[in-house]
Structure 1
Amino acid sequence: MTICRGARFFAALAAVVCLTACSGADAGGARASDERWPQWDESAGAAEVSAFMKVAVPEGATGVEGAVQVNPREDVYLLSFVTSEENAEGIAEDLRSEEPLEDRKVDLAPQGERFGHLGLPEPESLEGTRWVGVCPPCVGDERRSRMQWIEVYVQAVAEGRARVYLQAF
């Protein structure tokens, strides 16, 4: 019986040690599970996002904003600027989508607050916004082979000017 009691004692001790070790507590008392996602990479801006997307911000563009949303599985790259409608159309064509820019229904729910981080409205919520998306590896775009998806929203903002919203992951 003493062997059995000793075995139960060590089993209970092992369970307590395991629970303590598995609780995620570190030396500072913070829990790994307390880490919140998504997070924003404060060191990344429009230049880094533009380089990743292989999209040149047109000369003379205004309101240039960029950010990287860090997620556990895949990061989301955001870039936005105002340029001529002609430049905006060219950027959309450069994505090599088989489909042209098309009107986007406003009743679609935004994919979280992404562009809101840049101080912009979510493009899915804007009237008159046109959209096209593409899987770069699916269309043989070697320049963007590191991306699974890239999309562009184009919103007319003034005579001959448009805000471009790009999102890639």
Structure 2
Amino acid sequence: MKIRRGAHFLAALAAVVLLASCSGSDGDDRRVTEGRDWHWDKNAGVPQASAFMNVTVPKDATQTKGAVQINPQEDIYLLSFVTSEKNAEGIAEDLHSGDPLKAQKKNFVPDRERFKHLGLAEPQTLAGTRWAGVCPPCVNDDRRKKVQWIDVYVQALKDDRVRVYLQAF
């Protein structure tokens, strides 16, 4: 009887250790979510995100941040910066979205917290944020052949300044 109890205890302990090692952070910000492994690329930032999206960060931009989340199926590229309203509108137009930037729905909760990795609030949660999305291959944007989708969010700040959030895969 003592051997059985010990075996059950060891099996339960092994299961707990296995689950903890698969679902926790290991310093590389690696996670297993819904059975899929993802992590943030420590060597990627603004240059990689900007190059993937083929978006030039305006010269007057401040608070520029970027990251790449490595996923099993498709990587997610994030880029954010503060610039003028005019520059933000130009970036949105350059994406060739069929729709202009429009106000976000209220009380929208994002399914993931990606911009939090950059120390920013999720743009979908901010009042007054405008959004547009585009499928570059769908609008024959040859400059972005490898990009399946780009979301652009523009948050009004003050003095004609806005924060631009770009997310692409």
- Normalised TM-score (structure 2): 0.79
Paired position in structure 2 for 1:147: 147
Paired position in structure 1 for 2:7: none
Paired position in structure 2 for 1:8: none
5+ residue gaps, structure 1, are: 1-29
Structure 2: how far apart are the matches of 1:38 and 1:106?
A: 30
Q: Deviations for 1:82-117, whole angstroms, at most 9, x for unmatched residues?
A: 000000010000000111000011322113110000
What letter corresponds to residue 40 of structure 2 in structure 1? W
Paired position in structure 2 for 1:70: 70
Paired position in structure 1 for 2:117: 117
Structure 2: how far apart are the matches of 1:106 and 1:71?
A: 29
Structure 1 moving runs of 4+ over 4 Å? none
Structure 1: how far apart are the matches of 2:38 and 2:160?
A: 36
What letter corresponds to residue 95 of structure 2 in structure 1? L
Paired position in structure 2 for 1:45: 45
Aligned length, in residue pairs: 140
Paired position in structure 2 for 1:12: none
- Aligned identity (percent) is 61
* Aligned CA-pair RMSD: 1.7
Paired position in structure 1 for 2:90: 90
Structure having the higher Rg:
1
SS in 1 for 2:157: strand
SS in 1 for 2:112: coil
What letter corresponds to residue 141 of structure 2 in structure 1? D
